[in-house]
Structure 1
């Protein structure tokens, strides 16, 4: 379904019983990702909760309607919440969606019962860690036959720097980067390669959205001071082997938030919500139950 929000047409799906408390899942990867992974990861929660998944503007099946910024994405999330009459909500934001969740929590705390962050960072300063991790894995990535396109360091760099030339290039290079997101390159087996190929083929890639967000929004992002003022309860989660937003970034978030718990998933890469889905959902359910009962005493 589509909703007109702040002059953009946003594709969304509302799953579960609308009378149940609502979770909104915010996807990552502007121009790369869409609602599908949030749906895959969190649809089991619809036995107790209503789940809203949607595509940010400039992403997936939503309209290519500028401006693209963290502020605009947070405003869109709240406007969609209001349009669908969802009341107060819990946000689950992963990767870049975690940046938007932090933006939302600092702007619209009155509509937030709590939030879950997954594999994200409080500032763009952690990007240096991502480059170092990629460099350490690069020789092995180039040598191994992992069933994904072979990409050059220059192509990888241009994606990281927001300098992609076309949607086709964006799709191919991101497919080639997929093994980096696994718990290890060795864990990226034939099944993972097939899943990555299927996910790549089913997505709409929008390189211009990515370029804007990674040259204008991301380099200037810094939520460190704002986090200290957020009073809503938070669950901060991360995979131990996340190459792009390492556990140290999540630890800093949890340390700065007044009411937060950090959970590190030891056998996961960038997506513990899928790598260790059963354990991840169990921990999320515990957090949601603590909110419903007024928090841990």
Structure 2
């Protein structure tokens, strides 16, 4: 059994496992209000020989806060880790805001020894929401805390059946224990991001996934993003909301492995 090593580098908390015998390396980027554990169930279904890199965004999990934050600076953080571990080539896997980060990384890392070879985008888009959506959320979180919007967010994250399970409570704890400032900074970064014109620049074979019951990034929005990427394949996952890697990890892992030909 090969284990990930968890540590901090330049204030970024991350887990890394080197690949064995030429196996692929997967680089994961997670969603708003979650930490790197959101990928646990998928990673446990992947071969132990595969390389893994996952990290906490600034102001989330165990990573330190940043003075300012944008999708570009969060992408910089992932590149810092890629360079630190001399990772390449790799497969990018992004969920929600992590999908925005991976879209940018796909455009940055197109050639050379540290290029992204395949891309997986889950429950994301090139533009998510509008200032009319994000500004009130930011104000509420900074004034009243994340718990004030917890029920609303969680109803968008998960399909109704999953919200009745015992597991559901731990995701509420993960969300509500995210620092308010860190959460608000990422909200603002999403609000200010519009990469629709850059989708045509993504050349990697791309798998675009969405939970059929996702109301944060609805299937129609995610499919529109897939349609704008010439190399993309779109797949809707039944009985899942915004986090199919949590609700349907078997399906997620199977689709991922098929996409990269493993």
> TM-score range with shorter-chain normalisation?
0.7 to 0.9
Query: How far 1:214 moved relative to its partner?
Result: 2.3
Q: For 1:1-24, what per-residue CA distance to the aligned partner results, in whole angstroms no more than 9, with x for missing partners?
A: 3343xxx31111113645532101
Could you say what the CA RMSD is over the residues aligned between the two structures, in angstroms? Answer: 2.6
From 221, 228, 233, the counterpart of 1:249: 221
Structure with greater proportional helix content: 1
Structure 1 match to 2:196: 224
Instruction: Give the aligned length.
Output: 253
Gaps of 5+ in 2: 1-5
Structure 2 match to 1:83: 84
Is 1:268 the counterpart of 2:240 in the alignment?
yes
Gaps of 5+ in 1: 132-155, 291-297
Instruction: Indicate the SS of the match to 1:243.
Output: coil
Is 1:22 the counterpart of 2:40 in the alignment?
no
Is 1:173 the counterpart of 2:173 in the alignment?
no
| Matches of 1:196 and 1:70, distance apart in 2 | 24
Instruction: Indicate the SS of the match to 1:179.
Output: helix
Instruction: Indicate the SS of the match to 2:207.
Output: strand
Contact 1:58 1:66 in 2 (8 A): no
| Matches of 2:99 and 2:28, distance apart in 1 | 10
Q: For 1:67-99, what per-residue CA distance to the aligned partner results, in whole angstroms no more than 9, with x for missing partners?
A: 311001111111211101112211110011111
Structure 1 match to 2:170: 195
| Matches of 1:63 and 1:249, distance apart in 2 | 32
Q: Describe how 1:86-235 pairs up with structure 2 within 5 A.
A: 86-110=87-111, 111-125=115-129, 158-159=136-137, 161-165=138-142, 169-171=145-147, 173-174=149-150, 177-184=153-160, 187-197=162-172, 199-200=174-175, 204-215=177-188, 217-235=189-207
Query: How far 1:213 moved relative to its partner?
Result: 3.0
| Matches of 1:236 and 1:126, distance apart in 2 | 22
* CA shift in 2, pair 1:34/1:158, >3 Å: same
| Matches of 2:14 and 2:246, distance apart in 1 | 21
> TM-score, with normalisation over the residues of structure 1?
0.76
Contact 1:122 1:252 in 2 (8 A): no
Structure 1 range deviating more: 268-277 or 243-252: 268-277
Is 1:289 the counterpart of 2:255 in the alignment?
no
